[in-house]
Amino acid sequence: MFGRFDKAELRGVRARDLLPRGFAGRPFRVVETGGTSGAPIRVVDVTRAVHDAGMYGVMLEARGLAMTPSGPHAYGHFVKLLGDSRGGAVFSVDFDPRWVKALLRDERSADGYVGHLIDQTRAVLDDERPALLFTTSRLLLSPAPALPKPLAAYGVRAVCTGGTSCREEEARYLREEYLQGVQWIDTYGNTLMGHALQGDAAAPDRPHTYHLPPPLAAVHVVEPGDMWREVPLGARGRVRVTTLLEDLFLPNLLERDNAVRTGPHPWFPWEGLAGIGAYAEEGDTLTEGVY
């Protein structure tokens, strides 16, 4: 019924024109992608953050630290809404992920900027002792070794990551060296598709799978040369997503990721993904950075 949706079309549309008429008069936010595959994309968020906050609500303690992108990025908005929904206090760092990507594209070092983010994070950890830390997997690899003591010693009970990918050996390193006594809740997703939840987050000896909750979205792993043909279970292909929200419908969007198709999980009775990595079409330039 619907063909491939080209995300480039969103780059030429005014964000306000994406607000459905039925939502006129309701509060909304304009959120942007991180710009990994080109110019950022803007969409309108009326319901997504509310859905995500409800999904994560059971995990938030009285205080949380958002080491997440600020400004127009959905991740930071979501954490603040989650804090509001639970009566929690959210402390944020000043984080512009596009500056990191600009440095990397120009073949300059991003170490100085990452150090700036770590300094902000350490100050909040020392002063406020947050129970929950939100950040990205890639960024978590930087502050953890730089801290003089494990995260649990600062009062952190859980870390929730999303955005950039984290290799299995990196995840094992973090768990064994810096996350003892801390629950690590990793997700896969982005501004356009939402959050896929991780299965077996506490079982490092099993492959980590990610499952996108229906009916708000549907994910498929397809042949790179044929977006309508799913790969067999256990095979690797390109990620195709359909987002179906009250305020946002994106059919058959080919993501910038490749992954292994997996079966249902005891926690999630629908198929999932594993081994997620970057996918680049011919002529694409991907700059992942720290978000």
The 10s digit of each residue's pLDDT in 195-248 is 888 887 555 566 688 998 888 889 999 999 999 999 999 999 999 999 998 888
Beta bridge partners of 70: none
* Domain spans of the chain, in order of start: 7-206
Beta bridge partners of 226: 223
DSSP for residue 140? H
CB contact at 8 A, 18 and 268 = no
CA–CA–CA angle 38, 192, 115 (5° rounding) = 60
Per-residue pLDDT of 94-136, as tens digits, reads 777 777 778 888 888 878 888 888 888 889 899 988 888 888 8
Per-residue pLDDT of 17-75, as tens digits, reads 888 888 888 888 777 776 666 677 888 787 776 666 666 655 454 456 666 656 556 66
**CATH architecture assignment, domain 7-206:** 3-Layer(aba) Sandwich (3.40)
Which pTM was predicted?
0.78
Cα gap 258→278, rounded to integer Å:
6
User: C-alpha distances in angstroms, 107 versus 27, 142, 163?
Assistant: 40, 19, 22
